[in-house]
A and B are shown apart, each in its own frame.
Chain A
Amino acid sequence: MSWFNNWTWPTRLRDKGIIGMNRRNIRYIGRYNKRRLYPLVDDKLKTKLLAQQYGITTPELIGTVTTQFGVKHIGAMLTGHAGFVIKPAKGSGGKGILVIEKVEDNAFIKPSGVKLTLTDVERHVSNILSGLYSLGGSPDVAVIETLINFDESLMDYTYEGVPDIRVIVFKGYPVMAMMRLSTAASDGKANLHQGAVGVGLNIATGAALRAVQFDRPCFSHPDTGHDLASLVVPQWETLLNLAAGCYEMTGLGYLGTDMVLDRQHGPMLLELNARPGLAIQMTNGEGLRRRLDLIERQPDGVPAKERVAFAQHHFARQSELVESPDTSSASA
């Protein structure tokens, strides 16, 4: 009986407007994302250069390594930079990303405190070039960018990793957003299926709606213990405009934008995803279907600002975290 309780009926999911994998693939990705545009988002270096053209803020590029020969010069490239991130241009799911928080006495220190030597860093770059982390194992390019100093107001909501904000942009309209907070369980990574907390965000204000860890509701950060109800993303409208602008930049109709908040530069585009996952529905406690249907009925060619205003007006919601008393979290 308890096993049966873990299942629901398709009709109930449909009532909730939940979108399944098959529908996402055929109806949205297949219809709105042209195959030839994929390289723009699958290659982080291309995305970055394109974003610079379109005036979309991204973390500053320190340099790229394209040949095994170039690996030896990486030490020179890194001097003078306190913290940096090395990532494969064609990596997926956060694989192969090396974060160095600070450099002390030729030792490269990761956020977890582990010290690496220059040789370790060089080997990591070499692995990236040989395609260890890229899709299909094809040869890759290593991208080195400055470390993001994420906004202090969000410091209490995360454990070790940088919290990032995922906004689903459909035909240029931001339709749903969530924040991913890394936890001890997720090993400092912002991957939901590894145990990061996903917080659904109100498109109108950037305030938290609902939070889940391992698909089950939660009300405070499991490691820092901080109440999630008070979470509000600062500079929300700027962030939405940035996300909405990615539609013009890539031409992809169904897009997942990953953003971060930098202390000095404000919202920044980290990367784009042409096949964004469906977990965002879990964090929002709502299906994407109705919002996407509404957007499909809107005319094309609306400027980004109006699209954001439209989304903020129509997709505003009440927080579930404020309403519900703590007693209902007994199951968590």
Chain B
Amino acid sequence: MSRLMFYIIVGFLLVAGIATSVHRHVQFEIPWLPGEQRQVWEIEAGITFNAQGGPVQVDLALPSHQAGYRVLTENTASSGFGLAYQADELGRTAQWTIREAAGSQTLYYSVQMLVSQDARSPIQTPPEMSPATPWESPYDTAASQLIEQAWARSANNATFARELIQDVNGERQGENARLLLSQENPAALVVRLLNQAGVSAREVSGLLLEDGRRRQTLSSWIQVFDETGEEWSIFHPLTGAQGKPDNLLLWETGGRAVLEVQGGTNSRVTFSMMTHDQPASAAVRNHYSEDTLLNFSIHSLPLEEQALFQTILLIPIGALMVVFLRVLVGVKTSGTFMPVLIALAFIQTTLPTGLIGFLLIVAVGLVIRNYLSYLNLLLVARVSAVIITVIAIISIFTVLAYRMGLSAGLTITFFPMIILAWTIERMSILWEEEGPKQVLIQGGGSLITAILAYLAMNNPWVRHITFNFLGVQLILMALILLLGNYTGYRLLELRRFKPITDDEKPS
């Protein structure tokens, strides 16, 4: 019964760990591998206008998550202006306000967009049809003729839109179209005709992303709601080509004005952009995301605490390594988790320096401890003396290394001194009681365990996984619980008990 409970707990931990990890991978697109580079676009919108000396309100439409792109971070630069982000079903806007402003004003908004294949636009609902404004005579006949011709040549909303666009712009442009174009610009005309025919359509503003371009403006695109696919498809307003170019970033999709300025004149917005690749982990860190419980992540902490956690979250990996080596292999170590702490020090010092430093400190410490044993001290006093000795050794080596120009020697201070003191104490007792051979076996075992733990903990993939997927901790927990239940032979026991199996052969 208790066995069953145990496996249920282990199973639960495994499922929960894997599920949260997969959730983070899917939802936040954190890659499984650390090396993946993600393309990030930095786009800056500059708004310029002449303030008229009174209160000013500036509304700028902002881009949202959409197919192919994901908003990472956004910033504004606008001294003296009040700023508020607003979001409704039509999209997001930034609103700058000021009580009094005069003369030429410049406001900046910059956004980092992550290029991502998996990004999806938010839920797409068919828009409510706005009542079509009726045409005056003689435009109404021209409009209805255009609609009738295109309707006859099309099969569905998409083809209808394409035909209409070609009738308005292309070589087929007829008198009707030319007449209507005197009233509206091409994109607006097409949208108006589509709406008149009962097809949901809207004019949207998009930005064609090209690396290093400055002073770009938004271009108009036509979105038509596809009644079968239940999603918006996009059309080039001049050619009628269907489909969104990869480098098109939709800036405003609500059918509203991109920029509205009250209390100012001559307003315009221009865009400059550049792209760069950055490691996925950095992209993840900048991830713009809402605060939900499932989004619980260390990345919401300040950078300094994050760096701390990066190390803390590695300790279970070291612990797993120790459990593995002791339970499955049977390595003897001096002090159960001392190797993990040594491995943590190795991470700071790098392996060769750490190894040399560790061996130097322990060797010198053992010699001095050997003298201390003649003094016949009480245990606590003796270990305290060893601690001071270790500190002295570390100081001397650091100064020596510095004098000799070995800057690597300075990292020796990362060793946990009290742990080292206990290691020296334990090894010294072992030496007296069991002889130097046991010291070599246990010391070597500790060192091998520390090196393996270091290699595991310093692996970039392991660091990436433990830091970005907290669910992995649950998986580690489950693995350790399972290992704690292992009743089979240890690897070294296959050697230890070998002589027994030998006798079997002759008989």
A residues with a Cβ closer than 8 A to B are 6-10, 12-13, 16, 18, 20-23, 26-27, 93, 95, 123, 127, 130-132, 137, 194, 212, 215-217, 281-282, 285-287, 320
Question: How many angstroms from the CA of A8 to the CA of B492 in the assembled complex?
Answer: 10
Are B494 and A8 in contact, with the CB atoms below 8 A? Answer: yes
Are A130 and B501 in contact, with the CB atoms below 8 A? Answer: no
The stretch of B190-198, B287-295, B458-466, B482-490 in contact with A is B482-490
Knowing A21-B493, A132-B379, the reply to whether A16 touches B500 (Cβ < 8 A) is yes
**Set of chain A residues within 8 Å of B490, measured between Cβ atoms:** 20-22
**Set of chain B residues within 8 Å of A285, measured between Cβ atoms:** 500, 503
- For A10, A16, A20, A95, the residue with the greatest tally of chain B CB atoms inside 10 Å of its CB is A20
Question: How many angstroms from the CA of A10 to the CA of B376 in the assembled complex?
Answer: 47
Contact of B499 (CB < 8 Å), options: A217, A287, A320: A217
CB distance from A225 to the nearest CB of B (A): 22
B504 at the interface (CB under 8 A from A): yes
Contact of B504 (CB < 8 Å), options: A10, A16, A131: A16
Contact of A10 (CB < 8 Å), options: B327, B379, B489, B499: B489
Which residues of B463-507 are within 8 A (CB) of A? 485-490, 493-501, 503-504
Knowing A22-B327, A26-B487, the reply to whether A7 touches B494 (Cβ < 8 A) is yes
Knowing A7-B494, A13-B494, A22-B327, the reply to whether A131 touches B379 (Cβ < 8 A) is yes
Question: How many angstroms from the CA of A285 to the CA of B487 in the assembled complex?
Answer: 21
The 3 closest A-B pairs by CB, nearest first: A23-B487, A20-B489, A8-B498
Question: How many angstroms from the CA of A22 to the CA of B491 in the assembled complex?
Answer: 11
Question: How many angstroms from the CA of A214 to the CA of B493 in the assembled complex?
Answer: 15
Question: How many angstroms from the CA of A131 to the CA of B493 in the assembled complex?
Answer: 32
Question: How many angstroms from the CA of A13 to the CA of B491 in the assembled complex?
Answer: 12
Are A20 and B500 in contact, with the CB atoms below 8 A? Answer: no
CB distance from B128 to the nearest CB of A (A): 68
B330 at the interface (CB under 8 A from A): yes
B433 at the interface (CB under 8 A from A): yes
**Set of chain A residues within 8 Å of B503, measured between Cβ atoms:** 217, 285, 320
**Set of chain A residues within 8 Å of B486, measured between Cβ atoms:** 22, 26
B378 at the interface (CB under 8 A from A): yes
Count how many pairs of residues, one from A and one from B, have CB atoms less than 8 Å apart in the complex: 76
Binary CB contact string for chain B from 286 to 328 against chain A (1 if under 8 A, 0 otherwise): 0000000000000000000000000000000000000000010
Which residue of B is nearest A93, CB measured?
Answer: B433
Can you report 30 residue pairs joining A to B where beta carbons are below 8 Å apart? A6-B495, A6-B498, A7-B495, A7-B498, A8-B495, A8-B497, A8-B498, A9-B494, A10-B494, A12-B501, A12-B504, A13-B489, A16-B504, A18-B497, A20-B488, A20-B489, A20-B490, A21-B330, A22-B488, A22-B489, A26-B486, A123-B376, A130-B378, A194-B434, A217-B499, A282-B500, A285-B500, A286-B500, A287-B500, A320-B503
Other contacts beyond A21-B490, A281-B500: 15, CB < 8 A: A7-B498, A8-B497, A10-B489, A12-B501, A13-B489, A16-B504, A18-B497, A20-B487, A21-B330, A22-B490, A130-B378, A215-B496, A217-B499, A281-B497, A286-B500
CB distance from A302 to the nearest CB of B (A): 27
CB distance from B324 to the nearest CB of A (A): 12
Which residue of A is nearest B491, CB measured?
Answer: A7
**Set of chain B residues within 8 Å of A286, measured between Cβ atoms:** 500
**Set of chain A residues within 8 Å of B433, measured between Cβ atoms:** 93, 95
Which residue of A is nearest B435, CB measured?
Answer: A194
Question: How many angstroms from the CA of A60 to the CA of B158 in the assembled complex?
Answer: 105
- For A22, A27, A123, the residue with the greatest tally of chain B CB atoms inside 10 Å of its CB is A22
CB distance from A296 to the nearest CB of B (A): 14
Knowing A23-B487, A26-B485, A27-B487, the reply to whether A13 touches B495 (Cβ < 8 A) is no
**Set of chain A residues within 8 Å of B504, measured between Cβ atoms:** 12, 16
CB distance from A134 to the nearest CB of B (A): 10
- For B433, B495, B497, the residue with the greatest tally of chain A CB atoms inside 10 Å of its CB is B497
**Set of chain B residues within 8 Å of A95, measured between Cβ atoms:** 433
Question: How many angstroms from the CA of A285 to the CA of B485 in the assembled complex?
Answer: 27
Are B487 and A18 in contact, with the CB atoms below 8 A? Answer: no
